């Protein structure tokens, strides 16, 4: 009996198995990215790029902060009264606008994505400059710089919600790094905002 037909059949079977595995892996990757994009939406990319660049921030950090703050919901209002994509308290938004020489923003103004991202990125950059550490800046963005100063002075732990916030922003930053550095990935996956 000639072994060549059996060998050819075995080779075809191995190739078919490899192609099937490759197709399954491609489908899993695509669906994983699709799931990621649905779970971790991206909106306002041009505003994020523009303001991140203006304030020397990584766009993925800005994207992760927006996710952690509002999940990309423009009209988000927290129970404490923080507003918009980057969840600025009205008093903080007014203080930032004053620092930037802008008119005092109204509540509606703070819900505008362009202004909200401009003020929020400026504030985040200031906190990074002040504390010199991303985690401390995230704590300060969430709980205020005076609380972080106190925690550093006393050695106390941050509020549980502040720790959870910083963990959330840090953990999704990787996803946003992929989205912002590889536009092809972003364009291949639809984005939904809950």
Nearest partner of 62 among 115, 138, 136, 157, judged by Cα: 138
- Judge whether residue 86 has pLDDT over 60: yes
For residue range 155-164, list pLDDT tens digits in order: 999 999 999 9
For residue 179, the model assigns a pLDDT of: 83
Active site residue 69: yes
Cα–Cα–Cα angle for 96, 108, 166, nearest 5°? 55
For residue 40, the model assigns a pLDDT of: 61
Cβ of 60: how many Cβ atoms within 10 Å? 20
Q: How far apart are the first and last CA of the chain?
A: 65
pTM, rounded to two decimals: 0.78
The domain limits of the chain are 1-39, 43-182
Q: What are phi and psi of 103, to 5 degrees?
A: -65, 150
CATH number of 43-182: 1.10.530.10
CA distance 156 to 139: 13
Query: Active-site residue among 45, 69, 103, 161?
Result: 69
For residue range 120-150, list pLDDT tens digits in order: 999 999 999 999 999 999 999 999 999 999 9
């Amino acid at each position: 009996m000639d072994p060549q037909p059996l060998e050819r059949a075995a080779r075809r079977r191995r190739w078919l198995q490899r192609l099937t595995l490759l197709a399954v892996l491609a489908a899993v990757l695509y669906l994983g990215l699709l799931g990621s994009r649905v779970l971790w939406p991206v909106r306002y990319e041009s505003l994020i790029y523009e303001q991140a660049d203006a304030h020397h921030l990584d766009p993925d950090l800005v994207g992760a902060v927006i996710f952690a703050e509002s999940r990309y919901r423009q009209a988000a209002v927290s129970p404490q009264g923080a507003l918009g994509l980057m969840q600025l308290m009205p008093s903080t938004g007014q203080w930032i606008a004053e620092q930037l020489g802008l008119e005092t923003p109204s509540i509606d103004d703070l819900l505008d994505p362009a202004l909200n991202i401009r003020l929020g990125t400026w504030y985040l950059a200031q906190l990074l400059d002040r504390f010199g550490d991303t985690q401390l800046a995230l704590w300060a963005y969430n709980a205020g710089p005076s609380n972080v100063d106190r925690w550093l002075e006393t050695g106390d732990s941050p509020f549980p919600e502040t720790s959870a916030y910083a963990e959330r922003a840090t953990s999704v930053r990787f996803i946003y790094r992929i989205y912002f550095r590889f536009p092809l990935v972003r364009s291949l996956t639809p984005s939904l905002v809950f």
